[in-house]
Protein backbone atom coordinates (compact mmCIF):
# COMPACT_ATOMS: atom_id res chain seq x y z
CA UNK A 1 0.00 0.00 0.00
CA UNK A 2 1.04 3.55 -0.70
CA UNK A 3 -0.53 5.99 1.79
CA UNK A 4 -0.03 9.60 2.77
CA UNK A 5 -0.19 10.45 6.45
CA UNK A 6 -0.26 14.07 7.65
CA UNK A 7 1.72 14.49 10.88
CA UNK A 8 0.84 17.32 13.23
CA UNK A 9 3.26 17.02 16.19
CA UNK A 10 2.04 20.21 17.92
CA UNK A 11 3.06 21.27 21.41
CA UNK A 12 4.59 20.02 24.67
CA UNK A 13 5.16 16.28 24.52
CA UNK A 14 3.34 16.16 21.15
CA UNK A 15 6.55 16.06 19.06
CA UNK A 16 8.11 13.35 21.27
CA UNK A 17 5.14 11.02 21.09
CA UNK A 18 4.72 11.73 17.37
CA UNK A 19 8.30 10.52 16.86
CA UNK A 20 7.36 7.32 18.67
CA UNK A 21 4.28 6.82 16.48
CA UNK A 22 6.34 7.51 13.35
CA UNK A 23 8.87 4.90 14.47
CA UNK A 24 6.07 2.37 14.81
CA UNK A 25 4.59 3.29 11.41
CA UNK A 26 7.99 2.98 9.74
CA UNK A 27 8.54 -0.42 11.33
CA UNK A 28 5.12 -1.53 10.04
CA UNK A 29 5.92 -0.22 6.55
CA UNK A 30 9.23 -2.13 6.51
CA UNK A 31 7.82 -5.33 7.84
CA UNK A 32 4.68 -5.46 5.70
CA UNK A 33 6.04 -3.82 2.55
CA UNK A 34 4.04 -0.58 2.54
CA UNK A 35 5.08 2.94 1.62
CA UNK A 36 3.88 5.64 4.01
CA UNK A 37 4.54 9.22 2.90
CA UNK A 38 4.77 11.22 6.10
CA UNK A 39 4.29 14.99 5.74
CA UNK A 40 4.75 17.19 8.81
CA UNK A 41 2.75 20.38 9.45
CA UNK A 42 2.60 23.08 12.13
CA UNK A 43 -0.36 23.17 14.48
CA UNK A 44 -1.38 24.78 17.78
CA UNK A 45 1.13 26.77 19.82
CA UNK A 46 3.98 25.80 17.49
CA UNK A 47 2.07 27.41 14.60
CA UNK A 48 1.36 30.52 16.70
CA UNK A 49 5.05 30.74 17.58
CA UNK A 50 5.85 30.66 13.86
CA UNK A 51 3.58 33.69 13.36
CA UNK A 52 0.74 31.68 11.87
CA UNK A 53 -2.84 31.01 12.99
CA UNK A 54 -3.32 27.92 15.22
CA UNK A 55 -4.49 25.91 12.20
CA UNK A 56 -2.55 27.32 9.22
CA UNK A 57 -4.16 26.98 5.77
CA UNK A 58 -1.26 24.79 4.60
CA UNK A 59 -1.88 22.42 7.52
CA UNK A 60 -5.57 22.09 6.75
CA UNK A 61 -4.85 21.59 3.05
CA UNK A 62 -2.25 18.92 3.87
CA UNK A 63 -4.73 17.15 6.14
CA UNK A 64 -7.47 17.21 3.52
CA UNK A 65 -5.08 15.74 0.92
CA UNK A 66 -3.93 12.89 3.21
CA UNK A 67 -5.30 9.40 3.77
CA UNK A 68 -5.07 9.83 7.53
CA UNK A 69 -3.96 12.42 10.07
CA UNK A 70 -1.85 11.86 13.18
CA UNK A 71 -1.79 14.60 15.81
CA UNK A 72 0.54 14.68 18.83
CA UNK A 73 -1.01 17.25 21.16
CA UNK A 74 -1.85 20.94 21.32
CA UNK A 75 -1.80 23.32 24.27
CA UNK A 76 0.66 25.67 25.93
CA UNK A 77 -0.09 27.68 29.08
CA UNK A 78 1.75 30.69 27.69
CA UNK A 79 -1.29 31.37 25.48
CA UNK A 80 -3.78 31.16 28.38
CA UNK A 81 -4.48 34.88 28.32
CA UNK A 82 -5.14 35.01 24.56
CA UNK A 83 -8.59 35.25 22.95
CA UNK A 84 -10.14 31.89 21.93
CA UNK A 85 -9.05 32.07 18.29
CA UNK A 86 -5.41 32.73 19.29
CA UNK A 87 -5.13 29.71 21.53
CA UNK A 88 -3.55 26.38 20.51
CA UNK A 89 -6.81 24.53 21.26
CA UNK A 90 -8.55 26.49 18.49
CA UNK A 91 -6.59 24.41 15.97
CA UNK A 92 -7.99 21.08 16.99
CA UNK A 93 -11.51 22.41 17.38
CA UNK A 94 -11.39 23.87 13.88
CA UNK A 95 -9.78 20.76 12.42
CA UNK A 96 -12.45 18.46 13.90
CA UNK A 97 -15.15 20.70 12.50
CA UNK A 98 -13.55 21.11 9.05
CA UNK A 99 -13.10 17.36 8.77
CA UNK A 100 -16.61 16.67 10.05
CA UNK A 101 -15.07 14.19 12.50
CA UNK A 102 -18.14 13.88 14.71
CA UNK A 103 -17.29 10.54 16.33
CA UNK A 104 -14.48 10.32 18.84
CA UNK A 105 -13.60 6.78 19.86
CA UNK A 106 -11.59 6.46 23.05
CA UNK A 107 -10.93 2.88 24.07
CA UNK A 108 -9.60 2.28 27.57
CA UNK A 109 -8.54 -1.19 28.51
CA UNK A 110 -6.33 -2.62 31.17
CA UNK A 111 -3.22 -4.09 29.63
CA UNK A 112 -2.30 -7.41 31.19
CA UNK A 113 0.29 -6.76 33.88
CA UNK A 114 -0.93 -3.22 34.58
CA UNK A 115 -3.86 -4.24 36.81
CA UNK A 116 -2.09 -2.91 39.88
CA UNK A 117 -0.79 0.19 38.13
CA UNK A 118 -3.56 2.64 38.94
CA UNK A 119 -5.12 3.92 42.10
CA UNK A 120 -7.88 1.29 42.08
CA UNK A 121 -7.64 -2.20 43.50
CA UNK A 122 -6.45 -4.79 40.96
CA UNK A 123 -9.62 -6.88 41.37
CA UNK A 124 -11.73 -3.82 40.48
CA UNK A 125 -9.83 -3.01 37.27
CA UNK A 126 -9.10 -6.51 36.04
CA UNK A 127 -10.53 -7.00 32.58
CA UNK A 128 -11.77 -3.41 32.18
CA UNK A 129 -12.35 -2.71 28.49
CA UNK A 130 -14.43 0.39 27.86
CA UNK A 131 -14.99 2.33 24.67
CA UNK A 132 -16.04 5.93 25.17
CA UNK A 133 -17.91 7.15 22.09
CA UNK A 134 -17.83 10.91 22.43
CA UNK A 135 -19.78 13.28 20.17
CA UNK A 136 -17.10 15.64 18.90
CA UNK A 137 -18.47 18.44 16.74
CA UNK A 138 -21.45 19.71 18.71
CA UNK A 139 -22.62 20.65 22.19
CA UNK A 140 -21.08 23.37 24.34
CA UNK A 141 -17.83 23.35 22.39
CA UNK A 142 -19.49 24.77 19.28
CA UNK A 143 -22.98 26.00 20.25
CA UNK A 144 -23.94 29.54 19.36
CA UNK A 145 -24.39 32.07 20.82
CA UNK A 146 -21.27 32.15 22.94
CA UNK A 147 -19.27 35.01 24.31
CA UNK A 148 -18.51 37.45 27.06
CA UNK A 149 -20.88 40.28 27.91
CA UNK A 150 -19.66 43.81 27.05
CA UNK A 151 -19.05 44.69 30.69
CA UNK A 152 -17.01 41.53 31.20
CA UNK A 153 -19.20 40.57 34.15
CA UNK A 154 -20.81 37.52 32.58
CA UNK A 155 -20.07 34.96 29.92
CA UNK A 156 -22.16 32.35 28.15
CA UNK A 157 -22.02 29.18 26.08
CA UNK A 158 -24.83 27.26 24.46
CA UNK A 159 -25.42 23.54 24.56
CA UNK A 160 -27.36 22.58 21.45
CA UNK A 161 -28.01 19.20 19.83
CA UNK A 162 -30.20 18.20 16.92
CA UNK A 163 -31.86 14.82 16.51
CA UNK A 164 -29.66 14.22 13.47
CA UNK A 165 -26.45 14.86 15.44
CA UNK A 166 -27.57 12.53 18.22
CA UNK A 167 -28.66 9.79 15.84
CA UNK A 168 -25.43 9.66 13.88
CA UNK A 169 -23.24 9.35 16.98
CA UNK A 170 -25.62 6.81 18.51
CA UNK A 171 -25.32 4.70 15.35
CA UNK A 172 -21.54 4.65 15.83
CA UNK A 173 -21.99 3.51 19.44
CA UNK A 174 -24.47 0.75 18.59
CA UNK A 175 -22.41 -0.49 15.64
CA UNK A 176 -19.29 -0.52 17.86
CA UNK A 177 -21.16 -2.39 20.61
CA UNK A 178 -22.19 -5.06 18.10
CA UNK A 179 -18.52 -5.87 17.58
CA UNK A 180 -17.80 -5.92 21.34
CA UNK A 181 -19.87 -6.63 24.42
CA UNK A 182 -23.25 -5.63 22.91
CA UNK A 183 -23.99 -3.11 25.63
CA UNK A 184 -24.38 0.67 25.32
CA UNK A 185 -24.61 3.01 28.30
CA UNK A 186 -25.91 6.38 27.14
CA UNK A 187 -24.78 9.11 29.51
CA UNK A 188 -26.67 12.38 29.87
CA UNK A 189 -28.10 14.82 32.40
CA UNK A 190 -31.74 14.32 31.44
CA UNK A 191 -32.94 15.23 34.92
CA UNK A 192 -31.85 18.82 34.28
CA UNK A 193 -31.03 19.57 30.61
CA UNK A 194 -33.37 19.77 27.60
CA UNK A 195 -30.55 18.69 25.27
CA UNK A 196 -30.14 15.60 27.42
CA UNK A 197 -33.85 14.78 27.31
CA UNK A 198 -33.73 14.96 23.52
CA UNK A 199 -30.57 12.85 23.63
CA UNK A 200 -32.23 10.15 25.74
CA UNK A 201 -35.43 10.08 23.64
CA UNK A 202 -33.47 9.88 20.39
CA UNK A 203 -31.10 7.17 21.59
CA UNK A 204 -34.00 5.14 22.99
CA UNK A 205 -35.88 5.32 19.68
CA UNK A 206 -32.79 4.40 17.69
CA UNK A 207 -32.10 1.39 19.93
CA UNK A 208 -35.11 -0.35 18.35
CA UNK A 209 -32.96 -0.86 15.28
CA UNK A 210 -30.43 -2.74 17.43
CA UNK A 211 -32.42 -5.40 19.30
CA UNK A 212 -29.21 -7.40 19.81
CA UNK A 213 -27.60 -4.55 21.79
CA UNK A 214 -28.66 -3.81 25.34
CA UNK A 215 -29.14 -0.11 26.16
CA UNK A 216 -28.88 1.53 29.56
CA UNK A 217 -29.04 5.20 30.55
CA UNK A 218 -27.09 6.93 33.29
CA UNK A 219 -26.81 10.48 34.51
CA UNK A 220 -23.30 11.81 34.05
CA UNK A 221 -22.72 12.40 37.76
CA UNK A 222 -23.69 8.83 38.59
CA UNK A 223 -21.56 7.54 35.73
CA UNK A 224 -18.52 9.46 37.02
CA UNK A 225 -18.96 7.67 40.33
CA UNK A 226 -19.65 4.21 38.91
CA UNK A 227 -16.78 4.33 36.41
CA UNK A 228 -14.42 4.78 39.33
CA UNK A 229 -16.04 2.16 41.56
CA UNK A 230 -17.28 -0.56 39.13
CA UNK A 231 -15.51 0.11 35.81
CA UNK A 232 -16.07 -3.40 34.49
CA UNK A 233 -19.82 -2.80 34.22
CA UNK A 234 -19.21 -0.73 31.07
CA UNK A 235 -18.79 -1.78 27.47
CA UNK A 236 -19.61 1.21 25.24
CA UNK A 237 -20.28 4.60 26.81
CA UNK A 238 -22.15 6.94 24.47
CA UNK A 239 -22.14 10.60 25.40
CA UNK A 240 -22.03 14.22 24.28
CA UNK A 241 -18.90 16.29 23.76
CA UNK A 242 -18.09 17.79 27.18
CA UNK A 243 -19.24 14.79 29.21
CA UNK A 244 -17.10 12.59 26.94
CA UNK A 245 -14.09 14.83 27.41
CA UNK A 246 -14.36 14.41 31.17
CA UNK A 247 -15.27 10.71 31.30
CA UNK A 248 -12.50 9.72 28.89
CA UNK A 249 -9.84 11.31 31.11
CA UNK A 250 -11.40 9.51 34.05
CA UNK A 251 -11.14 6.22 32.21
CA UNK A 252 -7.41 6.92 31.81
CA UNK A 253 -7.03 7.04 35.58
CA UNK A 254 -8.81 3.70 35.84
CA UNK A 255 -6.55 1.85 33.44
CA UNK A 256 -3.41 3.18 35.12
CA UNK A 257 -2.34 6.24 33.15
CA UNK A 258 -3.81 8.77 30.76
CA UNK A 259 -0.63 8.25 28.75
CA UNK A 260 -1.93 4.84 27.65
CA UNK A 261 -5.05 6.05 25.88
CA UNK A 262 -5.34 6.29 22.09
CA UNK A 263 -8.16 7.90 20.14
CA UNK A 264 -9.70 8.11 16.71
CA UNK A 265 -11.91 10.92 15.45
CA UNK A 266 -13.90 9.59 12.54
CA UNK A 267 -17.10 10.01 10.58
CA UNK A 268 -15.72 12.88 8.52
CA UNK A 269 -13.70 13.28 5.36
CA UNK A 270 -10.46 11.92 6.82
CA UNK A 271 -9.75 10.19 10.11
CA UNK A 272 -7.79 12.02 12.80
CA UNK A 273 -5.80 9.94 15.29
CA UNK A 274 -4.26 11.27 18.48
CA UNK A 275 -3.35 10.20 22.01
CA UNK A 276 -5.83 11.45 24.62
CA UNK A 277 -3.20 12.79 27.03
CA UNK A 278 -2.64 16.31 25.69
CA UNK A 279 0.54 18.40 25.66
CA UNK A 280 1.66 17.87 29.32
CA UNK A 281 3.98 20.92 29.32
CA UNK A 282 5.30 20.00 32.78
CA UNK A 283 7.17 16.97 31.38
CA UNK A 284 7.85 18.17 27.82
CA UNK A 285 11.38 17.58 26.53
CA UNK A 286 12.35 15.35 29.46
CA UNK A 287 11.99 11.94 27.79
CA UNK A 288 9.26 11.07 30.31
CA UNK A 289 6.14 10.88 28.14
CA UNK A 290 4.49 7.51 27.81
CA UNK A 291 4.44 6.81 24.04
CA UNK A 292 1.85 4.01 24.29
CA UNK A 293 -1.15 6.31 23.75
CA UNK A 294 0.48 7.64 20.58
CA UNK A 295 1.59 4.25 19.29
CA UNK A 296 -1.86 2.88 20.08
CA UNK A 297 -3.32 5.76 18.05
CA UNK A 298 -1.07 4.75 15.16
CA UNK A 299 -2.57 1.26 15.46
CA UNK A 300 -6.07 2.75 15.28
CA UNK A 301 -4.98 4.73 12.22
CA UNK A 302 -3.75 1.57 10.51
CA UNK A 303 -6.95 -0.31 11.28
CA UNK A 304 -9.57 2.36 10.72
CA UNK A 305 -8.16 4.70 8.09
CA UNK A 306 -5.97 2.32 6.09
CA UNK A 307 -7.91 -0.91 6.75
CA UNK A 308 -4.65 -2.66 7.67
CA UNK A 309 -5.99 -4.97 10.33
CA UNK A 310 -3.05 -7.37 10.69
CA UNK A 311 -0.65 -4.43 10.87
CA UNK A 312 -2.72 -2.75 13.61
CA UNK A 313 -2.83 -5.98 15.60
CA UNK A 314 0.94 -6.35 15.21
CA UNK A 315 1.41 -2.93 16.80
CA UNK A 316 -0.92 -3.75 19.68
CA UNK A 317 0.77 -7.10 20.23
CA UNK A 318 4.12 -5.28 20.32
CA UNK A 319 2.84 -2.91 23.03
CA UNK A 320 1.66 -5.89 25.08
CA UNK A 321 5.01 -7.64 24.59
CA UNK A 322 7.02 -4.61 25.73
CA UNK A 323 4.84 -4.33 28.84
CA UNK A 324 5.14 -8.04 29.40
CA UNK A 325 8.94 -7.69 29.30
CA UNK A 326 8.62 -5.26 32.21
CA UNK A 327 9.10 -1.98 30.31
CA UNK A 328 7.53 0.87 32.28
CA UNK A 329 7.69 4.63 31.81
CA UNK A 330 7.58 6.77 34.97
CA UNK A 331 3.80 7.19 34.87
CA UNK A 332 3.37 3.43 35.35
CA UNK A 333 4.07 1.44 38.50
CA UNK A 334 7.48 -0.21 38.01
CA UNK A 335 8.02 -3.95 38.00
CA UNK A 336 10.05 -5.04 41.03
CA UNK A 337 13.76 -4.90 40.22
CA UNK A 338 13.33 -3.01 36.94
CA UNK A 339 13.87 0.76 36.97
CA UNK A 340 11.50 2.88 34.87
CA UNK A 341 12.67 3.70 31.36
CA UNK A 342 12.42 6.84 29.25
CA UNK A 343 9.97 7.63 26.50
CA UNK A 344 12.44 6.81 23.73
CA UNK A 345 13.47 3.50 25.27
CA UNK A 346 9.84 2.46 25.61
CA UNK A 347 9.15 3.37 21.99
CA UNK A 348 12.25 1.47 20.89
CA UNK A 349 11.20 -1.62 22.83
CA UNK A 350 7.83 -1.56 21.06
CA UNK A 351 9.35 -0.88 17.65
CA UNK A 352 11.76 -3.77 18.13
CA UNK A 353 8.81 -6.05 18.84
CA UNK A 354 7.04 -4.90 15.67
CA UNK A 355 10.15 -5.61 13.63
CA UNK A 356 10.77 -9.03 15.18
Residue whose CB is less far from ligand IPM, 44 or 62: 44
| Binding-site partner at residue 330 among ligand IPM, Mn ion, none, CB < 5 to 8 Å by type | none
Q: Distance between the two ends of the chain, CA-based, in angstroms?
A: 21
Closer residue to ligand IPM, CB minimum distance, 297 or 353: 297
The active-site residue out of 189, 210, 288, 331 is 189
Which residue has the CB atom at the shortest distance from ligand IPM? 89
Residue 263 to residue 132: CA distance in whole angstroms: 10
- Quick check: is 11 catalytic? no
The yes-or-no answer on residue 331 being catalytic is: no
Q: Which is nearer to ligand IPM, 96 or 217 (CB)?
A: 96
Applying CB under 6 A, the residues found at the interface with ligand IPM are 74-75, 89, 92-93, 245, 276, 278
Which residues lie below 8 Å from residue 282, measured CB to CB, with a gap of 6+?
Answer: none
Asked if 139 and 146 count as a contact pair (C-beta separation under 8 A), the reply is no
Among 89, 188, 218, 245, binds Mn ion (CB under 5 A): 245
Out of ligand IPM, Mn ion, none, what residue 92 binds, judged by CB under 5 to 8 A for its kind, is: ligand IPM
- Examine the residue annotation and report whether 287 is marked as an active-site residue of this protein: no
Shortest Å distance, C-beta 281 to ligand IPM: 12
What are the respective helix, strand and coil percentages of the chain, to the nearest 5?
45, 15, 40
> What is the distance between the alpha carbons of residues 293 and 258, in angstroms, rounded to a whole number?
8
Residue 45 binds which of Mn ion, ligand IPM, none (CB < 5-8 A, kind-dependent)? none
Q: How many Å apart are CA 191 and CA 296, to the nearest integer?
A: 37
Angle at 45 between CA 24 and CA 257, to 5 degrees: 50
Is residue 141 part of the annotated active site? The answer reads: yes
Partner touching 138 among ligand IPM, Mn ion, none, CB below 5 to 8 Å by kind: none
Q: Which position among 19, 41, 141, 235 bears the catalytic label? A: 141
Q: Specify the residue, 188 or 245, whose C-beta has the smaller distance to Mn ion.
A: 245
Options 30, 85, 221, 309, the catalytic residue? 221
Rounding to the nearest 10 degrees, give the CA dihedral for residues 122, 129, 137, 43. 70
Q: Using the minimum distance from each CB to Mn ion, give the nearer residue, 140 or 320.
A: 140
Which residues have C-beta within 8 Å of that of residue 2, sequence separation ≥ 6?
Answer: 34, 35, 37
Stretch binding Mn ion (CB under 5 A), from 128-136, 143-151, 241-249, 267-275? 241-249
In the complex, minimum distance from the CB of residue 277 to Mn ion, in angstroms, rounded to a whole number: 9
Stretch that binds Mn ion, among 12-20, 104-112, 130-138, 243-251 (CB under 5 A): 243-251
Active-site residue identified among 39, 49, 129, 249: 249
In whole angstroms, give the CA distance from residue 44 to residue 88. Answer: 4
| Active-site residue flag, 57 | no
Strand residues in the chain grouped as ranges (E): 2-10, 35-40, 68-73, 103-109, 129-135, 147-148, 155-156, 183-188, 214-219, 236-239, 264-266, 272-273
Tell me which residues touch Mn ion (CB under 5 A).
Answer: 245
Residues annotated catalytic, as ranges: 141, 189, 221, 245, 249
Amino acid sequence: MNATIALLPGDGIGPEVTDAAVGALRAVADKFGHTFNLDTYDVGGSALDAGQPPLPDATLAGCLAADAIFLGAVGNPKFDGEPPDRRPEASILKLRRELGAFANLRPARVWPGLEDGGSLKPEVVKGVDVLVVRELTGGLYYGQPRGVADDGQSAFNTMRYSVEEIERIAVVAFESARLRGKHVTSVDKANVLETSRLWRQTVTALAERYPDVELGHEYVDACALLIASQPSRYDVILTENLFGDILSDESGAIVGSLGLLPSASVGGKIGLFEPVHGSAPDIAGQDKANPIGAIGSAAMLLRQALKLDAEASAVETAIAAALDAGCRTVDLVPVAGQPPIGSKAMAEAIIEQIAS
